[in-house]
Amino acid sequence: MGMTLISAGRRPARAAGRAGASYRRRDKYIRFALPALLVVAAVIVFPWLYTLFMSVQEWQVGSDRVFVGLDNYANLLRDTRFHAAVGRTLAYTVLAVALPVLLGTIAAVFFHRDFPWRGFFRGIFVLPMMATPVAIALVWTMMFHPQLGVLNYLLSLVGLPPSLWVYAPNTVIPALVLVETWQWTPLVMLIVLGGLAAMPTEPLESAVVDGAGPWRVFRDITLPLTLPFIMVAVVLRAIDALKAFDTIFAITQGGPGTASETINIYLYLQAFSFFRIGHASAVVVVFFLLIVALAVGLLLVRQRTKWA
């Protein structure tokens, strides 16, 4: 068996039992995935092993590497700058999940109807999601400018006072969430739109026959039936919001001060500005566990929405 692993083109051996044949064939189909598994091992598994190893070493590039056990993790527990970064990341995530999911669901209901040029308009709607994040970040940086930016001009048109946007510690996180919401609402829209398309039509029709208004139909039928898809959107959004890097880094680099330093930005600075490899590796491990915990938690919630 081991020899033939390489030659995926072999014909299936004529086996005596049907069960045996299908078992062997299943085995052979796995071979199609072998090259991919090799790549995964090289580019994904190797970094993980290296990171786990480094997270128990004290090593700053240029100095000697020393085994320190769990010291890096213990230091993280005491590091108030890291704690603040975790808090900011969670706040950012809550906002950057809630807003796109709310707006994306509304947009999906809108695009679910049939109207002329629907595909074209949907194409325009999804543009933010496909645009290069760094390029977008650049445009938003200019729009956020407190004196010359177009956003404060727009606020003045509707009689609102100007904001300092990303230039003040207390508004920087909401302003960054605005960019994230602008960019990723389309992804939620597409996922929920898929859910609406897969929805059975009978309950809807019978409700309309029973004389239910559009809001009642949405609340009692559309929403419960698409809830599993909305939960998928919530899980994906949560993972992406926790990992958000490009726009935050390009717009503020964690500033002003450390007011927008999320875990990812903190990690970048520790690893590639201060070159504290051991410390940064411990951050990676803790960060990943946080993402997994949140994703698993949300998936459990999703299971419950399926039963409801």
Q: Which of residues 64-103 bind another protein (CB under 8 A)?
A: none
CB under 8 Å to 305, separation ≥6 — which residues?
Answer: 227, 228, 231
Q: What does the block give as tokens for 101?
A: 């999911």
Q: What is the DSSP letter of 218?
A: I
Q: What does the block give as tokens for 75?
A: 């230091």
Q: Which stretch binds another protein (CB under 8 A): 10-18, 65-73, 164-172, 300-308?
A: 10-18
Site residue total, another protein (CB under 8 A): 92
| Residue 13 binding another protein, by CB under 8 A | no
Q: Which stretch binds another protein (CB under 8 A): 62-70, 80-88, 146-154, 300-308?
A: 146-154
| Residue 302 binding another protein, by CB under 8 A | no
Closest CA to 295 of 246, 245, 211, 237: 237
Interaction mask 269-288, another protein, x per CB under 8 A: --xx----x--xx--x--xx
| Candidate residues 68, 90, 91, 138; the one interacting with another protein per rule CB under 8 A | 138
CB of 245 to another protein, least distance (A): 6
Residue environment code for 10-46, b if the CB has 16+ CB neighbours within 10 A, otherwise e: eeeeeeeeeeeeeeeeeeeeebeeeeeeeeeeeeeee
Are the beta carbons of 67 and 56 closer than 8 angstroms?
yes
Residue 58 has φ and ψ, to the nearest 5°, of -100, 115
| Residue 177 binding another protein, by CB under 8 A | no
| Residue 8 binding another protein, by CB under 8 A | yes
Map the footprint of another protein across residues 189-248, applying CB under 8 A.
190-191, 193-194, 214, 232-233, 236, 239-240, 242-243, 245-246
